[in-house]
Each structure stands twice: as structure tokens, then as C-alpha cells.
Amino acid sequence: MFGNRALKLENQQLRERLNMFLQVRDSLGQKMMHLMLDAQGRIVTANHNFLAELQAETSAVTAKSLLDLVPVHLRQTDHCQKLQTALQQGQVYVGAWQIENQQRQQFWLRAGLCPVRSHDGKIDHFELYANNLTRTIENSQQHDALIRAMQRSMAVIEFDMQGHVLAANELFLRAMGYQLADIQGKHHRMFCPPEITHSAEYQQFWQQLQQGQFVAARFRRVDRAGREVWLEASYNPIQNAMGHYVKVVKFATVITEQIRQEQEVATAASVAFDTSNLTDQSARQGMQVMNDTVAVMNALETQMAKAVDNINDLANQSQLIGAIIQSISSIADQTNLLALNAAIEAARAGDQGRGFAVVADEVRQLASRTSAATVEIAAVVNRNQQLSQSAVAIIEGSQQQAMQVNGLVSQVRTVIDDIQLAAKKVVDAVSQFANRINTTR
């Protein structure tokens, strides 16, 4: 009686344990991909989840070896070799491996393979439960590939949240002239000039990073030899799984040569700016000189016109004087003739006319001197008229030249206007260019 009761109790316990295991199996089968394999690793059954994930029919997988689902070119990978060993030796296997469906689509499975043995210890079959990790693993691979690419092409250095160096890649070390052992555990300030590390901006820089704010800009640093190195970089705070910031990763590109070229361009732009300003000022001064010259030439032209008028008036007066001289000359000739007649009459009168003859002779001599003087005056007047005409011709020629000068000055003023406009455009363009260079530093 007592033995039967013990057997019943044991049987009841075994049933309960079996029921528990069946519940676990059913729960796993509902949530996970499941395969049952025979002792040789051939698929006996596949649940709905497995078929749905692979977009396959039962007939496409049943009786196939599990390894047949692995792409041929991947069967020699470490993952597949470990799976194959587990099947051959009846061992437990947990890991990730790749399979493909009939459409040649590949999937990553995270699987657990469990051998099930019979009472005699032989492998009866295998139970395999898996999850589809394709998206997770591919994303991880892409992320790793991206990191490797950045490591190959960019200078990378890692700091803890207080600014101490954790690691650095070869590109960074080469750019700064260090070995990793030289900088590991040292503070970030070793790469900065003293005027930067002693500034309030530097303290604020690390406060921003510690608060999880990334910082991207151009940074002036110094290498091991104290030479200036320019980096275009971003400092990126990194969180752990708990959401805590644990380190800062800096990705950088060395732009020292580019900065030097920009500085040379900026210097050239500054020279061009100053030269253009000087050209503009010179053009303004030249324009003022041209305006003053035009004013002087206009005044000179006016004075010349007045001089021509005055000389013409003198010429007219000379003509009047000539007419008067002709009248005086005519009177002198008549006086001389009268004196001659008077002398003849005095001679006829004898002694009574002797005194009158003396007077008549004096009058004749006076008339002769008057006639000679009028001839000299006429010559002077004629010479004055010639000089006046010559002066008028010279002044009129000067007027024509002054007008030509005014025309040339007008052309020069137009050219200076163009130079001034071009200089202003150069000043504006160089100023904008210099501003853009300064804002990108």
C-alpha cells in the first residue's frame, strides 16, 4: 500500500514536471522559430514562425540537412563549423549563423541547439530554437563598417568625460607626432596652446561636452614639436546602455595646409583690399584734380575770350589812330605846301618879305617834322595792328587747345569714373570674401 502511494506521488510529480516542460516548449514555439532535427541533423518539423521568417513552404525544408540551408560560401566559417561539430558530437550549441531561402535571401539566426537523448543515452533528436537577428546584425555590421571607414580616413581620439585620453588611432597619432603611450591618460589640454586652455571658453567647451552637447568647429592645436596644427573636428559625447555619458569621441580631419592657403589668400585679399581702397582714393583725388583743371581751363578760356575782345578793341583803336595820322599827315603836307608858297611870295616881296620868309621856313620845317613823325607813328600803329592780329591768332589757337584739353579732361574723367567704380566693386568683393574667410575659421 505504501509503495503504491509513493509510486502515485512520483508519477504525479513527473506529470507536473512534464506539463511544465510542455508549457515552456509551447511558449517557446509560439514566440520563436523552431526546428526539430533527427539524430543526423535533418529537419523533421518546422514551426510556423520558422517558415514565415524564411518565406518557405514545409516541403522546401523538410528532410533537408540543417547545413543545407547555409549558403555554400559560408559553410567554412567559424560559426558554421561550430554548429556542424555540435551536430556530429551531440553537443549544445548557442550562436549566430546564416541561412538562405529558395529566393537566395540570407538571414542571420541567433539559435540554441539542444540534443535530446533516449533512455540509453543515444541522440534521439535535436531541438533548435532561434530568433531572426538579420536586421540587428546587418545594422551592427554597417555600424562597424562605418566606424572602420572613419578610422581609416579620419583622425580619431577618445577621452573620458573629464578630458583624459583613452585611445587614439594611427592617423591622429601621426598628425600630432605621438605614440599612444605618450598621450594615454594625459589631459586634452596637452594638445592646446596655453592661451586656449587658460580661457573661459575652454572651460565652457568641456562643460558642454559633459552635458551631452556635441561641439563641431575648426580647432587650433599644437603637435609634439610645438608646431601649429589645424583640425576640422567634432567632439561627440557617447552614452552607455544606461543612458549615461561615458566618453567623448573626436573625429577630425587635418586642415593645416588648407588654413595656411586661406591665410595666404586672406593676406592677398587684404592687400587687394588696401590697394583697391588706395586706388579708389587716388581716383577720387584724380577726379578732384580733373574737376579743378576743368574749372581752371574754363576760366582761362573765358579770360582768353576777353583778351581777344580787348585786342580787337585795340586793333580798332589802332585803325582810328591810323585815320587820324593820315589826317595829320595830309594837314602837314598842306602846311608844307603853304609854307613853300609863302616863301616864294616872300622872295618876291624882297626886303619887306624877309621876316615872313623866316616864319614860312620855320613853318615848313615844322610841317616836315610833323610829316616825318606821322610816318613813324603810322609805322608803329601798323606794327601794333600786326602784333594785335598775331596775338588774336595765338589766343584763338590757345582757345582751341583749351577746348581740346577740356575734351581730353572729360574723357579722362570718364576713365577715372570707370576706375573708381571698378575699384569700389573690388573693395566690396574683397571685403565680402575676407568676411567669409573669417567666419569659417
Question: Does residue 188 sit in the same domain as residue 322?
Answer: no
Rounded (10°) CA dihedral 139, 142, 144, 145: 170
Predicted pLDDT of residue 356: 64
Question: Does residue 161 sit in the same domain as residue 99?
Answer: no
Domain's final residue, options 198, 224, 254: 254
Question: Does residue 431 sit in the same domain as residue 292?
Answer: yes
Give the predicted TM-score (pTM) of the model.
0.54
For position 361, which CATH number holds? 1.10.287.950
Predicted pLDDT of residue 438: 58
Q: How many domains does the chain have?
A: 3
Instruction: Scan for cell 610829316, then name that residue.
Output: 371
Inside any domain, residue 7? no
Asked if 62 contacts 43 with a C-beta cutoff of 8 angstroms, the reply is yes
Question: Does residue 343 sit in the same domain as residue 412?
Answer: yes
Give the CA angle between residues 335, 338, 342 to the nearest 5°. Answer: 135
What's the helix, strand, coil split of the chain in %, to 5?
65, 20, 15
Question: Does residue 129 sit in the same domain as residue 215?
Answer: no
Question: Does residue 169 sit in the same domain as residue 126?
Answer: no
Question: Does residue 166 sit in the same domain as residue 282?
Answer: no
The type of residue at 166 is L
Look at residue 213 and give its three-state secondary structure.
Answer: coil
**Half-sphere exposure (Cβ direction) of 162: Cα atoms closer than 13 Å:** 4
**Burial call 113-142: b when 16+ CB within 10 Å, e when fewer:** bebeeeeeeebebbbbbbbbbbeebeeeee
Question: Does residue 300 sit in the same domain as residue 380?
Answer: yes
Predicted pLDDT of residue 212: 96
Domain's final residue, options 254, 287, 320: 254
Question: Residue 209 corresponds to which cell in the numbers above?
Answer: 561636452
For residue 308, the Cα-to-chain-centroid distance in whole angstroms is 65
Question: Does residue 418 sit in the same domain as residue 307?
Answer: yes
Residues 46, 63: Cα–Cα separation, whole Å:
10
pLDDT block averages, 10 residues each, the chain of length 441: 68 72 63 88 90 84 87 87 90 88 85 90 92 83 84 94 97 96 97 96 97 96 96 96 95 93 80 75 74 76 76 74 75 73 72 67 72 75 75 75 74 75 72 62 50
Predicted pLDDT of residue 229: 96
Predicted pLDDT of residue 436: 63
For position 182, which CATH number holds? 3.30.450.20
Inside any domain, residue 3? no
Question: Does residue 60 sit in the same domain as residue 108?
Answer: yes
- In which domain, by residue range, is 61 found? 32-133
Question: Does residue 64 sit in the same domain as residue 91?
Answer: yes
Question: Does residue 329 sit in the same domain as residue 423?
Answer: yes
For residue 388, the Cα-to-chain-centroid distance in whole angstroms is 72
Inside any domain, residue 377? yes
Inside any domain, residue 147? no
Domain's final residue, options 207, 231, 254: 254
Q: Which helix (H) or strand (E) is 133 found in, with range?
A: none
Predicted pLDDT of residue 440: 52
The type of residue at 223 is D
Predicted pLDDT of residue 190: 97
Question: Residue 145 corresponds to which cell in the numbers above?
Answer: 563598417
Inside any domain, residue 149? no
DSSP tag of 121: S
